Structure 1
Amino acid sequence: MPHIAHITLVVRDYDEALAFYIGKLGFTLVEDTYQPEQGKRWVTIRPPGAAKDATTILLARATTPEQAAAIGNQTGGRVFLFLATDDFARDHAAFTAAGVEWVRPPARHAYGEVAVFADLYGNHWDLVQFC
């Protein structure tokens, strides 16, 4: 059955992106392989605790002015990614302690508890614990 293997997140620099996603959000590095024929790296990450076959995020370094213009605004200012958690309070506190910037504070909705944060480039993410 078809499934989404990777989603691309355009970044300015691989290492600064890894420092944020691994260092602040606790993501796991899945692969970091240099591609000499293309002069780039194949860098994939996944949230902590995600299954080995879960969709990963491919960190893609911008190489053109058009790609660079999309950094931090891949969805036109809307929430881009939804990071589900089984313990909202724990992860909200951990992200806050790590210096994550909150765009909208925690709120309860019919579907669960959610807060919006910005990644190092300004992309908006939901941290959400579904009911």
Structure 2
Amino acid sequence: MRRIALVTLVVDDYDEAIRHYTDALGFHLAEDTPRPDGSRWVVVEPGTGGGTGLLLARAKNEEQRGRVGDQTGGRVGFFLHTDDFARDHLRMLAAGVTFLEEPRHEPYGSVAVFQDLYGNRWDLLQPAG
């Protein structure tokens, strides 16, 4: 069986990113391991395992710092599925998450675009059916 286990997300600061993804978005910290070069192996996951996690990688140079918050050219690049859109939308609003639109109900499900701490665009999505 094959699956995508991790997706790298370039961030400015490990601890700031961990707080955002765990506190505001409700992810859990799956791993935070120091590496010999001074970096850290930091993985956050939206569920309790088995899905795709985010490897939070601190930018190492100017080129990488220039990509923080714009890794997908301004498009929605990440899709956070939920089994209760209203619950998660309200919780995220209360945590200060910036939504770029009002929730909408499409044939494929309930959805709203939000930004993470750095400006990357995400869909909060409860699939139909």
So what's the TM-score if we normalise by structure 1? Answer: 0.94
Aligned pair partner of 2:71 in 70, 74, 85: 74
**Percent sequence identity over aligned pairs:** 55
* More displaced 10-residue stretch of structure 1: 52-61 or 74-83: 52-61
2:85 alignment counterpart:
88
Q: Superposed, which structure 2 residues align to 1:1-131 within 5 Å? A: 1-36=1-36, 38-47=37-46, 50-131=47-128
Runs of 4+ in 1 over 4 A off after TM superposition: none
Shift of 1:117: 0.5
Aligned equivalents of 1:20, 1:130: Cα separation in 2: 24
Shift of 1:81: 0.5
So what's the TM-score if we normalise by structure 2? Answer: 0.96
Q: How many residues align?
A: 128
Aligned equivalents of 2:86, 2:124: Cα separation in 1: 10
What is the aligned-residue RMSD (CA, Å)?
A: 0.9
SS at 1:125 equivalent: strand
Aligned equivalents of 1:54, 1:92: Cα separation in 2: 21
Q: Which amino acid aligns with 1:2?
A: R
Aligned equivalents of 1:65, 1:114: Cα separation in 2: 34
Aligned equivalents of 2:91, 2:113: Cα separation in 1: 14
Shift of 1:53: 2.6
SS at 1:80 equivalent: strand
Aligned equivalents of 1:127, 1:64: Cα separation in 2: 31
Aligned equivalents of 1:20, 1:51: Cα separation in 2: 18
